[in-house]
Chains A and B, each alone.
Chain A
Amino acid sequence: MHEILDILKKNARTSVEDIGKMLRLSPEDVATQIETYEQSGTIRGYRALVNEDDLPGDRVTSVIEVKVQPEREGGFDRIARRISGFPEVKNMYLMSGKYDLLLFVEGDTLREVATFVSERLSTLDGVLSTGTHFMLKTYKQDGVLMDGEKVDERLPVSP
């Protein structure tokens, strides 16, 4: 029964009154439940889903594959935590396959990202190699299509 979360994940700005109507709960009950989620950390925050491609400027996102040397004690965690601490790193995952860590890094310019990789990331002890890919266009983000507009082509009234 996490319907409140389902609704908020689709639209975090849905009011407690509206959620109450959708689930046949009182707004107070909805508010209490949301507060519980917030306090327990199930809800970590709320933010806008922005299509960066629409904004002026050329903000750069890159995906970086990183091979690291795991340690005898602690495995990947210590080096992973060091890398994930950099604010440039927006998302980061431990992966199976040819490389170990997958990073999503954002910067204002290409140079900024390149500098981060060459001066901060690859010089860390334990980082064996990196492979950097720059994103060219966003088609879909967090389940939302970013490319093109949806038009309702249905007849206005039908039986």
Chain B
Amino acid sequence: MSNTSYVAAHVKALPFSGIRKFFDIVASRQDVISLGVGEPDFDTPWTVREAAVFSLERGATHYTSNRGDPVLRQAIARYVARQFGAEYDWDQEILVTVGVSEAIDIALRTVLNPGDEVIYHEPCFVSYRPSIIMAGGVPVCVETRREDQFRLTREMLEKAVTSKTRVLMLNFPCNPTGAVLSRTDVEDIADFCMTHDLLLLTDEIYAELTYDAKHVSFISIPGMKKRTIFMHGMSKAWAMTGFRIGYACAPADVSENMMKLHQYAIMSAPTTGQKAAAEALERGDAAVAEMLAEYNRRRNYLITSFAEMDIPCHTPAGAFYAFPYIGDLGISSEDFAMRFLEEHNVAVVPGEAFGQSGTGFLRCAYATRMDNIREAMARMAQFVARLREEKG
């Protein structure tokens, strides 16, 4: 066997996602109750699946326009206008992608010159840092904290900004913390972007899933649209992860250049998914509201359970994750996750999978049935009691 590695050095240097290792261990076990799943347990609303089936029957199995099916792009323009208060030209400013993941990748590659700094926040979704690096940028991490409910403040950002900063990249409501930004936070951060002439990449995939106040989008702030790439998609609120449909709304010149990368790498997003997405945007509101109500009950159940166990947990106001702190129990979050799995057969994800500042935390997704959540919390109470005994 040759010793030559065919893998490029910069790719080899990229770490594997921390979640991957844990996934393999969980997958090898039987009957695990998993709070580790980052996708809805609900089935895609039937009307949406039915629209997808109908599109197949009708023979809609070809490429669409590179930018995406015009019917879907028009539906996106209408939805974004009514939901987030910003008007986009469906033909020039909207690009349909393969999930928000693709949108993030091509957005970064479109706007970054080598050495440009990108400020992002941790704990965050696993792909942010690697995506910035692969696009030739320099990731600059701002750590959000429990005492701020994992919000990002202007003060933190001012400390991170340099003359090389080009982009601010955000995800609120946030995976894995469940944090949201208030209107004031959004206005402050928008002002920060304008002051430092930064481009904002905002991944608002959980926008519909907020529990205590309606989501405030950055594109609703006057002056922000022209310096923002707004990214959203169907995966979370409509429970459509497998359809792989996301989209990016951006100023025409940015959108057009993103489209080149999209065209050369992807051609067009899956046609069946696009047909389904158009249906979901036009007729999915009731289903979204119903799922939201159920998530809220599960969230409340989790928060109350953690309080009963005397485990500190900020109130997650968005997405479907709780992020409790177990650092006081005399165990690392990785050991906690591993032992909880081995001794009680429940999977949670150790916080450091989402960045160093996640150390001491667990991500508990409540995208699973209520009876699973009830059982998982009962087992956690036993496990935590035992850890406290061991600690003495």
Contacts and interface: CB of A to CB of B under 8 A. Distances in A.
Interface residues of A, number: 18
Given A21-B304, A23-B297, A156 B374 contact: no
B286 interface: no
Contacts of A18: 301, 370, 374
Nearest to B301: A21
A24 B304 CA distance: 7
B127 A159 contact: yes
Interface stretch (B17-25, B50-58, B199-207, B271-279): B17-25
B244 interface: no
B300 A23 contact: yes
A43 interface: no
A156 B37 contact: yes
A157 interface: yes
Nearest to A154: B37
Interface in A128-159: 152, 154-159
A124 interface: no
Given A6-B293, A18-B374, A152-B41, A157 B349 contact: yes
Contacts of B26: 156-157
A1 to B, nearest CB: 12
Contact of A159 (B17, B34, B297, B301): B17
Q: Give the one of A155, A158, A159 with max B CB within 10 A.
A: A159
A7 interface: yes
B301 A156 contact: no
A22 B349 contact: no
Interface in A44-101: none
A22 B23 contact: no
Contact of B347 (A6, A152, A157, A159): A157
Contacts of B34: 156-157
B298 interface: yes
Q: Give the one of A6, A152, A157 with max B CB within 10 A.
A: A157
A41 B298 CA distance: 28
Contacts of B39: 154, 158
Contacts of B374: 18
Contacts, number: 63
Given A6-B293, A18-B374, A152-B41, A158 B19 contact: yes
Nearest to A11: B370
Contacts of A23: 297, 300
B300 A157 contact: no
B323 to A, nearest CB: 14
Contacts of B175: 159
Contacts of B22: 157
A156 B34 CA distance: 6
Contact of B305 (A21, A152, A157, A158): A21
Contacts of B37: 154-158
B300 A156 contact: no
Contacts of B304: 20-21, 24
Interface in A97-133: none
A156 B127 contact: no
A22 B370 CA distance: 9
A157 B298 contact: no
A24 to B, nearest CB: 5
Nearest to A153: B242
Contact of B19 (A6, A22, A157): A157
Interface in A12-45: 14, 18, 20-24
A141 B30 CA distance: 32
Interface string B345-357: 0010100010000
Contacts of B32: 156
Nearest to B19: A159
Nearest to B371: A11
Contacts of B298: 22
Nearest to B368: A152
29 contacts: A3-B293, A6-B293, A7-B297, A14-B370, A18-B374, A21-B300, A21-B301, A21-B305, A22-B297, A22-B370, A23-B297, A24-B303, A24-B304, A152-B41, A154-B39, A155-B23, A155-B37, A156-B26, A156-B27, A156-B34, A156-B347, A157-B37, A158-B37, A158-B39, A159-B17, A159-B19, A159-B38, A159-B126, A159-B353
Interface of A: 3, 6-7, 11, 14, 18, 20-24, 152, 154-159
